[in-house]
A = this chain, B = another copy of it.
């Protein structure tokens, strides 16, 4: 059994990690870290865990944790992981960081979008961007994995085949994203109250959202073309789910929708968590809820010669905790799908 420590286990992503790891056959949680709830039983914070998890929440003493855990998940605010991580820690335990700290290779880009000084620049290079479908082999050997952001995961997987094949104008990409409210975290803010989110939709972080450079970096790597995108996230009144609707100009005319869909199916044929839908079906967040699936489809608008790329995913699973477990599985050489094969929950 892999001994797992979680720092930040009382946020929504942390709790989802707990849920997933509880049914994982080769892992056990040995540390429920939470700065806010030290000394409370975990089930007092999340009632679903009553009689299931009886452990107490402990603080975020990462050094102590390296003696108990073989892998540490940090599901913490930006800046935490990079401020505590060190070569010493990595020499003892593997780390999967669910924050943005090690996702962006250029520390200056990180600092300018996150308005934070990066405290472990020397470790950035080593960190592997944990998008399993793309970096599977590097992940297997990594000590430090930067678990991708929710929007970047869904955006990238939705656009990847067309970007990789060079079929779209990379600087025409517009990503219009929609997320459920769990993406905003469990902090007590007026803007996240039930009556403020319910019966409403709004864009936020327009032109300034911090997932923008992460998506751009990955698309640049995939396509070989320096890419700048427009990225606009929206808050949707639902608990879970991300839907990406991305637009790009096709470089040539005459590429049919069927051909592109076939290409997507080929690209993702062996991927256990990616489903390329059939013609006329559009991805819907309800069909992936609670699962590690990403549903993808494309449509070609012949009138404008643009392709519409759509992807749906559960932001807490493939967009956070599920992908983190998938990374752990790869890093420990066990079956990549272990603990992640539950069917989506509907309705």
Show the binding face of A for B, using Cβ within 8 Å.
12, 15, 18-19, 22-23, 46-52, 171, 174, 176, 178, 180-182, 186, 188-190, 192-204, 206-207, 228-230, 232, 234, 236-241, 243, 245, 247, 275, 277, 281-291, 295, 299-301, 303-304, 306, 308, 310, 312, 341-347
Contact = CB atoms under 8 A, between A and B. Distances in A.
B207 A285 contact: no
A188 B189 contact: yes
B23 A200 contact: no
A200 B343 contact: no
A62 B291 CA distance: 33
Nearest to A316: B347
A195 B186 contact: yes
Given A182-B195, A346-B15, A238 B188 contact: no
A277 B295 CA distance: 36
Nearest to A310: B203
A289 to B, nearest CB: 7
A178 B341 contact: no
Given A199-B238, A285-B201, A343-B23, A230 B306 contact: yes
Contacts of A203: 243, 245, 282-283, 308, 310
Contacts of A282: 202-204, 206
Contacts of A22: 343
A-B interface, 7 closest residue pairs, ranked by CB to CB distance from nearest = A200-B286, A48-B344, A195-B347, A47-B287, A202-B284, A194-B197, A176-B176
B240 A234 contact: no
Given A48-B346, A190-B186, A308-B207, A201 B238 contact: yes
A294 to B, nearest CB: 12
A285 B195 contact: no
Contacts of A174: 174, 247, 306
Contacts of A49: 343
Contacts of A51: 275
B181 A178 contact: no
Contacts of A186: 190, 193, 195
A47 B281 contact: yes
Contacts of A229: 304
Nearest to A50: B275
A343 B47 CA distance: 11
A180 to B, nearest CB: 8
A193 B193 contact: yes
